[in-house]
Amino acid sequence: MIEEHLRRGIGMTSQRTRERLIQRLRDVRGIKDESVLEAMRITPRHLFVDEALASRAYDDTALPIGQGQTISQPYVVARMTEALLADGVPERVLEIGTGSGYQAAILAQLVPEVYTVERIGVLARQARQRFRDLRLNNIRLRLGDGYEGWADHGPFQAILLTAAPARLPEELTRQLAEGGRLVAPVGGREGQQLLLYRLRNGELEKEVLDYVSFVPMLGGTE
């Protein structure tokens, strides 16, 4: 189904425009995982933004999606996804912060099961419809507080956060399987680091991947 949307792309959403983005991610940004690049090549990012912003959908930049939220920069999506897959394909991934649904759509083409939590009702409804339209049937979405995770379906071999907490939530670390990976932007207004955590022998090992700017992670629902 995703390939059908790709073939229908015209103008600034054309195949050539998408290929320029993939070339930039590979040659300039250093993304090496070809499975990640292929998923991003065939995923119609313009369907995850407002129609008025479709001409910018394949720029390597974050874009507003309403409700004070953004769709992440393609490089950041690729970097986080690549980091999650570096030790092999996880069976089950938890995403905190569905947003537009773009990151979940990328993951759904690479892993068997994606569980994603969104706290803003209107964004959750829009994302769920996009998943249906693209027939991404291995994504499960719920409206909820991301700080609580989704324990009923844990433990997860990989967890990814698309909003920045001031510090890593302990509840999410409890839902990470032994040997699993957690990728998250962490920090406040003074700056954020994109961090990779590995759970080995019950202990979290931390690695700094990059410096980033994400919307803050909030609790509750609206």
Question: Catalytic residue positions?
Answer: 72
Q: How far apart are the first and last CA of the chain?
A: 31
Q: How far apart are CA 197 and CA 18, in angstroms?
A: 31
Rg (CA), the chain: 16
Q: How far apart are CA 2 and CA 51, in angstroms?
A: 18
Instruction: List the one residue out of 108, 98, 94, 219 whose CA is nearest residue 150.
Output: 94
Q: How far apart are CA 36 and CA 218, in angstroms?
A: 28
**What token pair was written down for 212?**
């980033």
Query: Going by C-beta distance under 8 Å and a sequence separation of 6 or more, which residues neighbour residue 76?
Result: 62, 194, 210, 212
